[in-house]
Amino acid sequence: MGEPLLISLCMIVKDEGATLARCLSSVQGAVDETIVVDTGSTDDSAEIAKRYGAVVVREQWKGDFAAARNAGVCLAQGRWILFLDGDEALESSQHAQLRQLATRDDYEGFFLQVRNYVGNGEQGATVNPILRLFRNRPEYRFQGRIHEQIAASILESRPGASFHLTELVIHHYGYQREYIEAKDKVRRNMDLLEAALQAEPDHAFYRYNLGVEYLRSGRPEEALEHFARASRLVDPERTSYAHLLSKYEIRCKQALGRWEEAYVQTAGAIRLYPGYTDLLQYKALCERALGRQAEAIGTLIEAMKQGVPQPIYHTEEGIGTYQTAYLLGELLEEYGHYEEALLAYKKALGYRSSLTPPLYRMFRLLRVAGREKEIPQWLKTSFRLASPEAWAKVVAILLQCRCGRAAAAILQEKQGRKLPEGFRLLAEAEAELQRGRLDAARRGLRSSGRKGQGARDSALASAAIAEHLRWLDGDVKEPWSDRITIALASSSQGSEQPIKLTGDELSGGVWPQLQRLLEGSYSCGKRQEGLHVLHLWQRTLESPEATPAGADALVHGLSAIADRHLALLTSSDFGKRHKEALTAARLRLPHEDGM
């Protein structure tokens, strides 16, 4: 006889063909057998599973997740059972640690850290410790029609059973927008939970999870009703998810504008769940909303000292590190402590260098404070920007933050000259336009045209921008070819026709160009041309094809003009006497934030 199997992977799937290969690939070498219970797939899920050596079991779906799980568990031969879903993946660098856990004799199960990626994947993740690896014993079976659990079964069979919290990671992609929409998970979960609650109306865990689905659907009032009822049914000190239940109640009250109630609840929750940094951050949000800025800053400083929550708590990625540091920077900025705000944003980047929102805040803050010329040197001494891609990203952000002087300086230095020439010349033209140097911007684009620079998209962009600047400069010797300049030329002659929005321009391409023209007209002193841009923009927004992005770009364009006027006012005698108030007003204007 061969060696007994150590770990069996048990899964249930239905139409998981888009993600199943990633999941099964992630466990190769970590598990000894894979059992996949297919509950009615119409795609190639079963074929994919078989390609990875899985035993595939066809099981009719009965509206009961525990029953489906147990159909696979009954067939497992391993000493331990790992369970995953098709939209999950095991952290591939931790196979050895997983197998080492399965040699332990002192535990009945292990909690792994499930990282739930949300939104479009760029908003970070929530982190939830969940029991995912347990001993294969015939008395251990899943319970619950939905959000099925194994821990209760283990404790019923062995009341003294011990579990261990690990740092091993499971990546869960099922809460990303594309997966939720494709599988209509929220509606499915709500239907199952409501059916389960018909039979067991006082089942606290079902009630809690139904609240989660309402919260995820943007319905905080209904969510709060279920959370409050679940809270009355659980022991807050003994129930594993009670800390999360309390946090979600607070979140609902915040969403409903019940800030004082939320604040009072955070105080009690902090006493119940020490070390749960999420609650400190929620408390700071309450204090901010209630106008207690100084207290909010103090609370966030405490949260930074406390750091990442203890592993027993469900948390959100970045709380205690970059997310908290960024929020602290915002509050310090609102409170007028600009140097401290810069340090907080820098700290956020230190925790996660790929973040862009802190850069937007820092660049804008330095520009408004009259310190834009310091940015190039500050970047070189504060950050490691080794690749041309990193510098190109920084230049693009600088231009979005209206830091044309800093962008131009970087483009003239060694790192700027290494950037792709098409990008560099376009960026130089935009930087000059922001500085009110229309002739210099046009010269740069003419240079680009003479060199026949770049890929087709870059060349087309250069041609379009060159034509926009030619119109702005009153140069009408050649006919127009770009639809924006054609519409602008017609508008200046009394036409009321909007820009026709079709094809790629529906994704937002027209709006940044109009924004550049509007801001450029005012920076170059071409106010009459700016009015033509505004009138055309208004008519285009009134067309049926217009998108919300058009209104958003208009707000940011008008904000940039207002900022320019306030900057000019700051240099006057009046402005020098009221510099602090004007600086605060400029920082409160709508702006690009990288979100």
CA–CA dist 559, 575 (Å, integer): 19
Quick: pLDDT tens for 411-450.
Answer: 999 888 888 888 888 899 899 999 988 888 888 777 655 5
Residue 286: both structure tokens together: 């309450």
Handedness of CA 155, 158, 162, 165 (dihedral sign): negative
In this predicted model, which residue has the larger pLDDT, 288 or 494?
Answer: 288
Cα separation, 61 vs 58, in Å, equals 9
Domains and CATH numbers, the chain: 1-176 (3.90.550.10)
Q: For residues 161 and 109, is the Cβ–Cβ distance under 8 A? A: yes
Q: Considering the chain, what is the average pLDDT of its residues?
A: 90
The position carrying tokens 């190109």 is: 392
| d(C-alpha 578, C-alpha 5), whole Å | 76
Q: Which residues contact 85 (CB under 8 A, 6 or more apart)?
A: 11, 12, 13, 16, 23, 172, 174
Query: Around Cβ 283, how many Cβ atoms within 10 Å?
Result: 24
The answer to which of 161-165, 325-329, 427-431, 508-512 has the lowest mean pLDDT is: 508-512
Give the separation between CA 568 and CA 562, rounded to whole angstroms: 10
Give the whole-angstrom CA distance, residue 545 versus residue 178: 24
Q: Which residues are within 8 A (CB) of 7 and not within 5 positions of it... i.e. 6 or more apart?
A: 30, 31, 32, 78, 79, 80, 81, 82, 98, 99, 102, 133
Contacts of residue 188, Cβ cutoff 8 Å, sequence gap at least 6: none
Strand partners, 34: 9
> Burial, 568: exposed, middle or buried (Cβ in 10 Å; 0-12, 13-18, 19+)?
exposed
> pLDDT tens for residues 526-566?
998 889 889 888 888 888 777 788 899 999 999 999 999 99
**In whole angstroms, what is the distance from residue 34 CA to residue 52 CA?**
9
Question: For the whole model, what pTM was predicted?
Answer: 0.85
| pLDDT tens for each residue of 38-94 | 999 999 999 999 999 999 999 999 989 999 999 999 999 999 999 999 999 999 999
